[in-house]
Every structure is written in C-alpha cells, then in structure tokens.
A and B are shown apart, each in its own frame.
Chain A
Amino acid sequence: MYDVIIIGGGPAGLASGLACWKAGLKKVLIVERDQELGGILNQCVHSGFGVGIFKEELTGPEFAQKFIDELRETDVEVMLNSMVLSLNEDKSVEVIGPDGYKKLQAKAVILAMGCRERTRGAISIPGSRPAGVFTAGLAQKYLNMDGYLVGKRVVILGSGDIGLIMARRMTLEGAKVLACVELMPYSGGLPRNIQQCLKDFDIPLYLNHTVVDIKGKDRVEQVVVAEVDKNRRPIEGTEIVYDCDTLLLSVGLLPENELTKQANIKLDPRTKGAIVFENMETSVEGIFACGNVLHVHDLADNVAKEAEKAGEAAAEYIRGNSRSDKVVEIHNGNGVSYTVPQHIHYPATNNIDVLFRVNKVFGKSVIEVVDAKENLIAKFKREFIVPGEMEKIVLPKVLLDKAEGDITIMAKEVV
C-alpha cells in the first residue's frame, strides 16, 4: 500500500512527489511511461525555464534535472517505462511495465499526466493526406531528441508556444519558415515568444487566417492559406499559396484526462481538466491534479508551484485533516475564459491563488472579484492581459471571509 501514487513524471509529478516527501510521507511512488523523468521538458532544449522559482534561465532538461537531483536524495520510488492503464475511484491503479502487469493501491493519487497536442483531425483540415503534416511537438521531438529535421520549407498553423519555438528552432537549422498562420485575432503564445521566435527572424504572423487546403500526393507540396471572417470561416478570394514541404500544427494542447474520466472525476469543459478546489483536490476525495493535465500552462514554474500545493494537500489528506464541507464556486465573469481552482472550501484556510485566462486581448484593465451580492471583494490592476499568458491573482483570506455566496471574477478594460 502506497501513501501516494503520482501518475506522470514531468515537472508536475516531480514537484508534487518532492512536496509529499517534504511533508513527511514515506511511501510515495511516481509512475512514468517514458524511459526517463522530466516529461515534455526533455524535448524543450531552449532556455526560458526556471526564472520564477530558481531565478535563473534554464533549459527544459536543466529545469527538470534540478527536481530529479533533489528527488534522488529521497526515498520516493520511481517506476519508469511504466504506464498507468486504469484508475479507480478507490485509488487503485493498474500499471504495465517491464516488470509486469500490476494492481497497486494508494491512499491518495496525484494526477500529473500532462497533455497532448491537437492534431489535423481535431480541426478537420481538408486536402490530401501526404507526409509532412506534423504537430509541432512531434517535429520538436524529432529534432531535439534524434537530430532529425522534418522539412526545409515550412508553414506553421497556430501560434501556440511550441509552434513559435519551432519556427525559431527550424530556422536556425537552415529551414525556411514561410509564415505562421493564426485563426484567432490574437496569438495563443507568450508575447516574448512572438518577439524572439517570429519577429526577430522576420517570419510573418497572419492573424485571422487559416489553412484551407493541403496539396501533394506523397509529401506536402503546397499549403493554401486564407483569411477568415468574423465567424472564422474562410473568405473566398483571399487565398495565398505556399510552396512548401511541411505544415506544422500548433493548434492547442489537450489535457490527457482519460484516466480521470475512468475514476468518475468531474471535468470542467473549459479547461478540459478536473474541477478542483484551492488545494488541487478533485471531485473525488483523495485524488488531486496539477500541471498540464489540470489546465494548459505556459510556464513550467507555475506547474511546479501548483504541484507543490497538490503534494502538500495529499499529505494533509492522508493525515486525516479534511477541509470544510462548505463550497464556494468561482464563476467566470466578463472576459474570463476559465479559472483554477473552480471551487473553494469555505471558509478558506489561507490566501488563495487563482489562475485564469482571458478570452481576448485587454489593454490597461482591472480584474474585479465580486460575491453573489455583487459586493466588490478585491480588485487588481493590469497594464496588459493576453489569452496566451496565464494570469494569477491572490485572494487574501481576510477579504474572502467577507464574501457572501459564490464569487465571480471578471476583467474590464479601463479607458
């Protein structure tokens, strides 16, 4: 019997495992299906990790290594090449790995499975089906893990961070990136990546555009791009044809919640992750979630912080300290597309971090938190908010204690 089983050994799994250990738990297991720990970070050889928690610019693998080194000093168990095949509400899991097929039982489970990339099918791009259409992450894996360059003339659909990073990476490898095409009127990536990966290399970014056709029999030969109208439908006559051999897709990430669903955990249709409380506990007691499986993060630092919270809460749960039964919900007000957590145990035991994203670009603005009676609980000023960058506010306990009923978070531009 384990105290905690952690599913996934990326930054979320590593940081939550360490937190469990530091909180005094002795039987902690991390199950990772890959051959090494680190998760998606292993293929992120660019720097830009760790500024938040280590105060230095690290590459993905360096960032992961910090946690792995620390983990080596503990007795946290790690099972590599091992995949959790099923998860039950009673916190038992089935694992397959090189030592066999096992059923394991834990007192608590932390979900840290990360996410996967949306594919061509998910957005139904018509056209022929040649080789040369890759998700950006797969192209990144080929390049950074194996040293294989997938193409020489590239169009990128979607302006998510992986696509942006790959625009720069492939350019440095001698490929010509012809354009980055984004359906929405704004980029889905971090502003710093737009600057450093596109602008600095003179790669054009077409907002309000999409790919309407892929041509080529066996390998991509052409990609046709068109502008879209307000309803995101292509406008005839605006087509641009690119002669290229590769189309990279950076059209979004999807939390990997197949196991979560098996355990009957309630999901939030907006984040596509579990609905959680402020301590990262899901709708099933004793099962916690953190990292990209909960909602897609842009910074690994935030993942680590969230994961620590999940680890500490799992330890607290095992010690039998349960939180209040009264629940306050956080609603998405104007301009807010989701929040994590979605629920708070009331009254709060501490100040509460709320992470959220906005659904359009905001200039100088305020974020307001109101209660069910529309009393203003708290107010935060921002110079600039974009959908591609996760926002965080801290709700002080003293203010929260005054709230009546559910609370709503909204963003308002100030003129």
Chain B
Amino acid sequence: MYDVIIIGGGIIGCAIAYYLSFYNLKVVLLEKENDVSCGTTKANSAIIHAGYDPKPNTLMAKHNVLGSKLTKELCEKLDIPYKQCGALVVGFTEDDLNTINQLYQRGLDNGVEGLEVLSREEVLKLEPNLSDEVKGALWAKTSAIVSPWEYALALAEVAVKNGVELKLNSEVKSIKKDEFFTVETTSEKYNGKYIINAAGVHSDDIHELIGKKEFTIKPSRGEYYLLDKSEGSRCSRTIFQCPNENGKGVLVSPTVHGNLIVGPNAESSEKDDVSTVASSLDFVKNNALRSIPSIDFRENIRNFSGVRARSDRNDFIVEESKSVENFFNLAGIQSPGLSAAPSLALEAVNWLKGKEELVKKENAVDERKRLKLKDLSDENKNELIQKNPAYGKIVCRCESITEGEILQCFDTVIPPVSIDGVKRRCNTGMGRCQGGFCGERITNILIDKLGIKPQEVLQDKEGSNIINSLAKEEH
C-alpha cells in the first residue's frame, strides 16, 4: 500500500517525487516510458522565464515567479547546467513598444525583479547581432537557461535515493477506487491513498480513467532548430519577439550546452506526434531571422518538436479533482511549466499536508553531484585518469565525453537503457556529428553493461531498435 502514487515522470512528476521524498511516505512514481523525462520535458525551449508574461493573478504568474527563484537554488544543489543569461523581448514596431511597456508593468505586478526597458541603442549594444529594425526591448535579467532533462533526472535520482520507487515502462491503464485507489499499469497493480496526476498531455485521459471530464487538453506542437556551437554566440541572452495570441513567438537563445536554439511555432497536433513539418520549420526560420538576420541555418544539427499541454482553461490546473477525492491534478502545465515546476510541486505537497500530517525523514539527501571531466583542473584530470584510464578515452568527440563518464552513469540509481538515455545523462551524441562517430561505441557499451543482444539495443523508447540482425559473415 502506497501513500502516494504519482503518474508521470516529467519535470512535474519528478519534482513532486523529490519534495515528497523528504517525508516519511511510501511513494511510487509511474512512468510509461523506459526513462524519466521522455515527454514534453525533454523537448521545449529550456528557458526559466522571469515571469513578466503571464497575466497577473493567474496561477501561471504566481508559480512562474516563485518557481524560477526555486529553480535557481535547486539547480545549484543538483549540479544542473543552469545559466542566468537574461532575456530580451525585442520590438520592431510602435505596437511592439506598447506591448513591451505592458509587459514591463505586468512584470512589476507579478513581482518580477530586474526588469528594464531599453532603447534601440541600449539593446543593440547588448546584442550587436540583432536586426537593425529593432526599436527597443524589455530586458529581464532573471531569465535563465537550463538543461531540462538533466534537471528532471536529477530530481528523480535524489527521490529514488531517498526511497521513492520509480517504475518505468509502467503505463497507467485503469484506476479504481474503493476505500483506496487501485492503479493498474501494463504490468502491475498498485494500491494507494492518494494519486497525483502529472501525466502532461495525457493528464485529462488519466483523470477521466476515474473522474468526470473537468478539463480538456488541446495539444499544441512547437518545432525547433538546434544549431551547432559555431552559432552558439549569435546572442548572449534569450531573444524573444513580442508575444501574440499564438504564444511567446519564436525565440533565439543560447543553450547551456553552448548551442543555439531557435523556435518554436505553435500548431495544434496529436498528443504524441513530435514530428516536424517543412512549412513550420520555414515559419520558425523566417521569424528568427527577423530577430537575428545573420543566423546561419546551414549549421543546423537537429530539428525536434515538443507538445504543449494547453488546456481549455488557459491557466495551470492545480487542484484536487472535483469528482474524485484524494486525486490531485497538475494539468494543463504548458509553458512556463518548466520554470514553475518546483513551485507547482510544493503546491501538491501542501495539498497533502492539508490531508494529513507529514513527518520529515531523518536522513534524506537533497543534493547530487555529477562528475564532469571538462570542469576539472588539469591536475585533477590527471589524477582521475591515473586512477582510471577510462577517463582519458574520449568516446564522444564533439562534446569531449570520455568512456569513464559514460560508464559512471550506469552506476547511478536510474541507469540508462538506450542510446538517448546515455545522451540525456552525459551529453554524448548531442554535438555536430549527432552520434555518427560515437553511436557505435555506445551501442557496444549498452550491450556490455545491460547484458543484452545487439538487436535489443534501443535508440530511445521501446521499439526503437537500432540493429536489425547480425551480418552473414563477420568482418
């Protein structure tokens, strides 16, 4: 019997698991994929928004502003790539300048610190590659960039270390309730007192497994370009255009890994359809070039897309279900959901505190470290390599990741089971060759570490097998 069953291992579910793991509670996190952070959390703009964008007095405004402060602290504790690079909302027309003033005012109302309205000259001085057409900008100094999947993983890892059970490959299929809940997944049954629904785009489906229709998710896809590091310094801050009815518009931003991210558009889509289409990519490209005309799209290394869990309420849904007692919804968590995650998770914890007294665990941890060779001094590098020569062998040449760093992620509490799982843990294959050189090495490491057959090696999710068969004759 579990106290809490969390459904969904995205940033929201992982953050809840993290905060709940500090208490004497029996918690299980159910995730349908073979890893955490395989949904929207791994495919978004990765901006920790300052909080000037949401309308005042909305849940979005509240949790964004609070969440972004908490995120900064968390990322430090969890050793997550995070950089407070700031953001600029640039305007090209008189209308835009009005919007910028409104956003500034809205930011003040929401309690955002570090906002400043800049003239054309001031903004061009900060970002000389911006278009000549720029007329002014809002500067949000607290805006930041982060590595979202490392963030979710780190939260989950700490939670698991503190005793939360993580069940991967566990798609919730049915939920029943007598005096307690019975949740059935593809492989097992779980009994629990409380359910927290953090199933992203599927949060309405999960709720309706047991409750009445209270909200509907209207998925909206956003597509991206990710450019090579050679383009990574086109701008030093996140560059937004003025928001319109379709969302925050196309942004151009450095990433914490040193690349340049460009996107997204907003187009209604199926919930799990993360394809890209030529017309959307063209739209993204053309809009981005309005901000920074010199972006060289020939340096693109990857396109991807993520699906927003937009709901018919146009705000976050953070409440106990009206039709099912002891069932808490964290639904409609579209942007700025990544920024708001810790605050949203604490809201769920508070809800639980209203239900029963929570007792803190004695020796729970709240930190995590990841050894990255790049960050070590020359002396420490040598010391480590002397102890274990695997730390001297580069496997991923684009990102300079060594065999030692790859092997160490198999010794964590949530080891990778796929090539992309390794990528999410140590950045292999993220660079300009996109795994063209290291993919084969990592395949062999997976075969060896997981004790599987070559044909069983996965690129990412179940079914994404890489190898079809063994060759007739080996060379």
Contact = CB atoms under 8 A, between A and B. Distances in A.
Interface in B280-322: 281, 297-298, 300-304
Contact of B434 (A83, A120, A147): A120
A119 B433 contact: yes
Contact of B440 (A124, A126, A141, A245): A141
B301 A33 contact: no
Contacts of B465: 131, 219
Nearest to B275: A128
Interface in A112-168: 116-117, 119-122, 124, 126-132, 135, 137-138, 141-152
A121 B278 contact: no
Contacts of A126: 275-278, 281, 303
Contact of A129 (B304, B378, B394, B475): B304
A218 B472 contact: no
Interface stretch (A69-77, A98-106, A189-197): A98-106
A147 B454 CA distance: 10
Contacts of A174: 472
B274 interface: yes
Contacts of B273: 128
A124 B472 CA distance: 34
Contact of A83 (B301, B397, B470): B397
B300 A96 contact: no
B415 interface: no
Interface string A75-116: 000000111010000000000111111000000000000001
B475 A127 contact: no
A148 B439 contact: no
B149 to A, nearest CB: 15
B468 interface: yes
Contacts of A212: 278
Contacts of B468: 149-152, 245-246
Given A124-B225, A135-B436, A145-B440, A83 B474 contact: no
A119 B303 CA distance: 11
Nearest to B229: A258
A150 B419 CA distance: 15
B243 interface: no
B471 interface: yes
A143 B440 contact: no
B389 A83 contact: no
Contacts, number: 150
Nearest to A85: B400
Given A131-B460, A149-B469, A33 B394 contact: yes
Interface range, B side = 35 or more
Given A129-B304, A138-B436, A138-B440, A143 B276 contact: no
Contacts of B473: 147
B58 interface: no
Interface in B453-470: 454, 458-470
A306 B142 CA distance: 54
B454 A146 contact: yes
A217 interface: yes
Given A150-B466, A218-B462, A81 B393 contact: yes
A155 B392 CA distance: 38
A351 B435 CA distance: 43
Contact of A219 (B378, B432, B464): B464
Given A97-B392, A116-B432, A45 B475 contact: yes
B269 to A, nearest CB: 12
A131 B467 CA distance: 10
B93 interface: no
A246 B468 CA distance: 10
A383 interface: no
Interface string B386-414: 10010011100100101000000000000
A325 interface: no
B245 to A, nearest CB: 25
Contacts of B303: 121, 124, 126
Contacts of A130: 459, 464
A119 B228 CA distance: 12
Contacts of B440: 138, 141-142, 145-146
Nearest to B272: A217
Contacts of A116: 432-433, 436-437
Nearest to B304: A129
B296 to A, nearest CB: 11
B471 A143 contact: yes
B44 to A, nearest CB: 15
B243 to A, nearest CB: 26
A171 to B, nearest CB: 12
A152 B455 CA distance: 13
A200 interface: no
Nearest to B457: A148
Contacts of A100: 381-382, 385-386, 392
Interface in A215-254: 217-219, 245-246
A141 B437 CA distance: 9
A101 B436 contact: no
B386 to A, nearest CB: 6
Interface of A: 33, 45, 81-83, 85, 96-101, 116-117, 119-122, 124, 126-132, 135, 137-138, 141-152, 173-174, 212, 214, 217-219, 245-246, 261
11 contacts: A100-B392, A116-B433, A121-B226, A124-B281, A124-B303, A126-B303, A130-B459, A141-B440, A150-B467, A218-B460, A218-B461
Given A147-B473, A214-B275, 13 more contacts: A97-B392, A100-B382, A100-B386, A119-B434, A120-B434, A126-B277, A127-B275, A128-B274, A131-B464, A148-B467, A148-B470, A151-B468, A218-B460
Q: Which 9 A-B pairs have the closest CB atoms?
A: A218-B463, A131-B459, A147-B474, A98-B389, A131-B464, A121-B302, A128-B275, A121-B301, A218-B464
